[in-house]
């Protein structure tokens, strides 16, 4: 059996927004566009999932709103406070609690946890050029797809996953790249 894990980093947030807490920081215009763009890519590339677990931070909520707008379908995520600014070890703990009835899930959160999960789960043996791309940078609104040869989410943690896809907003629209500002 194989489980599929999608890791979505929240879209670009507005650092110049005068919020009192980091948790409340919203997306900026580029982030809104990137979230919709990733959602459209997901729809046109047949990305499906059965369950979504997400940080309840404002920038994640707004990212999902944009993704759903582009995807054309909304899902109600499980809001998991432990994912907010978590380590990859904490996110692994959350994943180990997932019901095995869900074979395809998406986690929406923050760096460094989403990036570190790729490093924790995909072997560093030179066989994955996509892993090398993640090492360069896991930008905002990027989506990774991991195929993990496990039967139970409780068994997740060993570096046995295959990084099947790594899609960055700039791959889909050059105006969303780092040099576009």
Contact 5, 151 (CB under 8 A): no
Domain count along the chain: 1
Query: Token pair of 51, please?
Result: 């369950």
Residue 12's pLDDT band (boundaries 50, 70, 90)?
A: very high
The residue range of the domain holding 44 is 3-180
Give the separation between CA 55 and CA 64, rounded to whole angstroms: 10
Could you tell me the CATH number of the domain that includes residue 104?
3.40.50.1240
SS3 labels along 151-162: CCHHHECECCCE
**Model pTM score:** 0.95
Q: Are strands 143-148 and 51-54 parallel, antiparallel or unpaired?
A: unpaired
User: Residue 11's Cα: distance from chain center in Å?
Assistant: 10
pLDDT score of 70 more than 80: yes
Query: In this predicted structure, what is the pLDDT of residue 179?
Result: 58
């Amino acid at each position: 059996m194989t489980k599929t894990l999608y890791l979505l980093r929240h879209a670009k947030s507005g650092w110049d927004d005068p919020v009192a807490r980091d948790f409340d920081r919203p997306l900026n215009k580029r982030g809104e566009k990137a979230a919709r763009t990733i959602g459209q890519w997901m729809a046109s590339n047949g990305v499906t999932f059965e369950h979504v677990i997400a940080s309840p931070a404002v920038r994640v909520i707004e990212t999902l709103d944009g993704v759903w707008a582009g995807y054309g379908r909304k899902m109600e995520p499980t809001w998991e406070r432990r994912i907010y600014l978590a380590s990859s070890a904490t996110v692994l703990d959350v994943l180990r609690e997932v019901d095995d009835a869900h074979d395809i899930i998406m986690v929406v959160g923050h760096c460094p946890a989403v990036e570190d999960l790729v490093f924790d789960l995909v072997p560093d043996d030179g066989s994955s050029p996509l892993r090398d791309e993640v090492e360069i940078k896991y930008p905002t609104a990027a989506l990774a797809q991991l195929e993990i040869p496990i039967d139970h989410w409780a068994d997740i943690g060993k570096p046995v996953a295959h990084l099947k896809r790594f899609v960055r907003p700039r791959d889909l629209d050059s105006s969303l790249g780092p040099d576009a500002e």
